[in-house]
Amino acid sequence: MGLNTTYTARTFDLSDLNGISNETLAMHFKLYEGYVTNTNVLNQRIADLIGDGELDPTQSAAFSELKRRFGFEYNGMVLHEYYFDNMQKQGTGDPFSNSAFIGAAEASFGSYEIWKADFVNTGKMRGVGWAAVYQDPSNGSISNHWINLHETGNVAGFKPILIMDVWEHAFIRDYAPVDRPKYIEAFFSNINWTTVNARLG
Ligand SMILES: [Fe+2]
C-alpha cells in the first residue's frame, strides 16, 4: 500500500453457516470494515506527516506510533479477507481424499489427521489471535502458525493457505469463551476447500 492507496471493504456471500450465526457474521463484517477504515485513516495520517518528503523531527514519535498501528490494522484487514474467503455456505467438512491440501498435509505432517491436530491445538492456544496455515514458497511445505493479535507471527514471504480467526468476537455470540473448541469444530465444517486448494502453489 503506497501512501496514495485507498482500500474499499469487500462483501462476502456468507450466511447460514454451521454453528456460526448470522448475527455473529454481521457483527464480524462490521469489525472487518473497521479495519479497512482504520488502515485508510492511518495511511492518510502517515502521508500527512511525511508531507512533501521531510518528517519534522518533533513528529517522529507520532510517526512511529502510526506505523505500529498500521501493521495491526493492515494485517487485521487482510487476515479477515482470507478468513471470510476460506469459508462457504453448505460446507462439507474435511477435504476430499485426493485434494491438493490432503497431499500437502501428508507431505508436511505425515497425515491429514496429524496436520489437523496441530492446527486445532494452535487454534486453542490461550491468547488473542489467529491460527494460520502458511506455505513456504521455497519448498512447498505447509506449516501451522499462531498469530498474536494480527501482526505477530506471520512469516515473511509465506503464502496464507487457511486462516482461522480465534479472537473471541468470532464466536462469543454463539459460544462461551471456554467453548472455543466448539467454534473451531464449527469453523471446520464451513471451510471452503476449493478455495484452500486453489491457494496452494
Ligand atoms: Fe475477527
161: helix, strand or coil: strand
Mean pLDDT on 109-118? 98
Dist. CA 54 → ligand 1 center (Å): 36
Dist. CA 62 → ligand 1 center (Å): 27
Q: Same structural domain for residues 127 and 104?
A: yes
Q: Same structural domain for residues 115 and 193?
A: yes
User: What is the Cα 71 distance to its own chain's centre?
Assistant: 13
Q: Same structural domain for residues 81 and 105?
A: no
Q: Same structural domain for residues 59 and 138?
A: no
Q: Same structural domain for residues 77 and 115?
A: no
Q: Same structural domain for residues 138 and 60?
A: no
Q: Which three cell numbers stand for residue 96?
A: 476430499
Dist. CA 86 → ligand 1 center (Å): 13
Q: Same structural domain for residues 109 and 60?
A: no
For residue 146, the cross-strand partners are: 131
Least confident interval from 51-55, 79-83, 84-88, 114-118: 51-55
Let me know: does 19 contact 185? Beta carbons within 8 Å. Answer: yes
Dist. CA 166 → ligand 1 center (Å): 7
Range of the domain at 27: 22-85
Dist. CA 25 → ligand 1 center (Å): 10
Tell me: pLDDT of 3 over 80: no
- Report yes or no on 151 lying in a domain: yes
Let me know: does 174 contact 21? Beta carbons within 8 Å. Answer: yes
Dist. CA 98 → ligand 1 center (Å): 31
- Report yes or no on 130 lying in a domain: yes
Count of CB atoms within 10 A of residue 82's CB? 18
Q: Same structural domain for residues 67 and 133?
A: no
Question: How many domains are there within the chain?
Answer: 2
Tell me: pLDDT of 1 over 60: no
The CA dihedral of 118, 119, 124, 126, to the nearest 10 degrees, is 80
CATH number, domain containing residue 120: 3.55.40.20
- Report yes or no on 189 lying in a domain: yes
Q: Same structural domain for residues 137 and 49?
A: no
pTM over 0.85: yes
Dist. CA 30 → ligand 1 center (Å): 10
Gap between the Cα atoms of 24 and 18, Å rounded: 12
- Report yes or no on 91 lying in a domain: no
The contacts of residue 79 (CB under 8 Å, 6+ apart) are 130, 132, 147, 150, 160, 163, 165
Overall residue count recorded for the chain in this entry: 201
Gap between the Cα atoms of 192 and 48, Å rounded: 41
Least confident interval from 17-21, 76-80, 97-101, 195-199: 97-101
- Report yes or no on 123 lying in a domain: yes
